[in-house]
Chains A and B, each alone.
Chain A
Amino acid sequence: MRVPVRAIAHSRSGDKGNTCNITVIAYEQDFYEVLKEQVTEEALKAHYAGVITGKVTRYAVDRLGVLNFVCEGALGGGVSRSLCLDNYGKSLASRILSLEVEVPERFANRLRRGQAA
């Protein structure tokens, strides 16, 4: 079954100069294998086409179920030079949650769904 990353992971982004890092964290260790296989550097870059203009490097931290993507050329030249409304790129991490991934049916009842808060 196909689900958005949001069903199996959460994310946060941070800035350093013109580079943004986007961290994708599995809600459960099982989910991490799906992320590691399908949320590749290429997949992330394609999902941010036109926004991330430079190289994307992925660091996989198996022990913690975390993928950290370092995205160069993602902040419009850097915080001060940027014409982006969100010049720190604080909102960039949410975009990855809409990427669709294929997960095994057995995950069905463990997937995150929007529950009323």
Chain B
Amino acid sequence: MSVTTPTPAVESAGPPAPARAHWQHRLAERGVDRHLWLLTPALLFVVLLFLYPFFYGLGLSFQPTEGGPFSDYARFFGDAYQRDTIWTTLGLALPAALLNVVASVPIAYRMRGRFRGKRLVTILLVVPITLGTVLTAQGLLNFLGPTGWFNRVLTALHLTDEPIRLVHNYWGVFFSLVITGFPFAFLLVLSYLSGIDPTLERAAATLGAGWWQRFRMITLPLLMPGLATTFCLTFVLAFSVFPSAVLVGNPAGETRVISIAAYQAAYEQYDYPYASAIAMIMGLIELVVIAVVLFARTRFYTGSTGGKG
């Protein structure tokens, strides 16, 4: 606390110094009061369920079974089979997150007004959130598998002679990520969009802007910070993909994502320090991507957009 010292007592003839406020009032000025105790349960949870496991894992990753403190990290980056999981995961998570965000924008843009059946459409778009990854994978296997409806229709229409492979490879995981990630992206984008005052576009219209100009010059720039945040969230969801990479992917080959590498280290080789190191690398990559996106976000206007949101 940087409290200025009271006027020296030498000038006793001067006006009396104003009485100093009670210490409780001074603390309250700085936001310190009894209500701070309400944070205790949340802090307890954060410490017990996040901070402790995180630092435990971080410490563990520097205590490999053999070699110096960084040898597990060196092992991961030295082994091409392991190292490539980073690119495999990014190759899935980045396009999936991007598609989810980009596809949400036109749908949310169309749906921000009021219209008949809006609730029904929203429910249909959001239902996949409630399905677990396993159920989605099951559905994908049935629908897109070699004998699934999709291929049967294609064959019946003589569009293809042999079934197109859409599961147990990259595309199976990609579809699964889109199905589970889209509702999140859509709901977020919809709420960001309804936070933009619709009068702004009407004003642009009276100034001679057509619909595309209105979208590109008014709505999109105001929406960009929201899209960046949405991208970060869906990216993190997609980057930690695990069940669908196993169930509808090819976990030994093209969809051997980084979480599979960590799983194998922990539960097949029982090398916890190595698994921890992989988990730390995973977190670091996520942080780097988020940092890049959030840095780009600062280049946009992030203030009030006048709407109700």
Do the two shown chains form a genuine complex with each other?
no
